[in-house]
Amino acid sequence: MLVWRSGTKAHQQALCQFVCTDPPKANYDEHRGKHHPRPWELEVQSHLRGQRLPAPPGSAIALGFDQQGLSAVVEYAFSRSEEQFIITALAVAQRCQRRRYGTEALQYVLQSLRVTRVNEGVDCGVFARIDPRNDASRSLFDRAGFEYIGLFGGYEMWVSDL
Amino acid sequence: MSYVEPVAGVPTLTRAGATPPGCRNERAVGNDGLTDLEREDLARKYREGPAREATDEELRAVAEWLRRRRANAGLA
């Protein structure tokens, strides 16, 4: 079980050192040039490490900690014009893969969004964009009850009601 | 050159630091093995990809999916 905290300035250093992919850097391959087996993981890791805490109004970054430190990060927000919620990033630390922390992170977000929906009096659903090569995320969102509704701008759109 | 006592209220000049403000060093390598520039480039790709602003088409598709789902739930 992770302990969840809303990201504050005190968590900045932990977020700046967060690693969720292996290898952590694209390697040079003689035939392919710069190459990483899962570039989408490298991109989300770089995005999260560059985020400043606390998140600006209308968005949130939640951090899940285990006894060794930062284990999972999830970023979510109102979409443009506050019509829907969007989960913009969800990542689990490389050192604690296969512990179902991704499922825990997603459940945490959905719970947070349900409370937001009631408190703010809005009638939003939630969606996320997934890289079509990212089988792990597709399976995670599928298990959580999200549905695939199509490909938009090269990314799969997965939607759920709250 | 002789030492001059600082005078209260009189500002002094400092030389430009070796690193830009915020200790940003474009060639420094983090624990992810990336330089700041490489990391920023990847982060920009992510912000322009899966984390980009929702388009009207995407919002319409989500709203339509929700409308249909709720209508079906109401019939069940």
Average pLDDT over residues A130-151: 97
Q: Do A152 and B57 touch (CB under 8 A)?
A: yes
This prediction has a pTM of 0.86
Size of interface A-B (CB pairs under 8 A): 105
The predicted model gives A55-77 an average pLDDT of 96
**Residue B23 confidence (pLDDT) above 60:** no
Please give the residue that has the higher pLDDT: either A91 or B16. A91
The one-letter code for the residue type at A62 is A
Lowest-pLDDT choice from A6-15, A139-148, B31-40, B62-71: B31-40
A 2-21 → B contacts, CB under 8 A = 16-17, 19
ipTM value of the model?
0.92
Mean pLDDT, range A113-121, rounded to an integer: 94
A-chain CB neighbours of B22 within 8 Å are none
Q: pLDDT confidence of B68, banded at 50, 70, 90?
A: very high
SS3 labels along chain B? CCCCCCCCCCCCCCCCCCCCHHHCCCCCECCCCCEHHHHHHHHHHHHHCCCCCCCHHHHHHHHHHHHHHHHHHHHC
Residue B52, CA distances (Å) to A17, A73, A79, B6 in order = 23, 18, 10, 52
Q: What is the pLDDT of residues A23-64, one digit of tens each?
A: 877 787 788 877 889 999 999 999 999 999 999 999 999 999
**pLDDT, average across residues B45-73:** 95
Q: Which residues of A touch B25 (CB under 8 A)?
A: none
Of residues B33 and A144, which shows the higher confidence score? A144
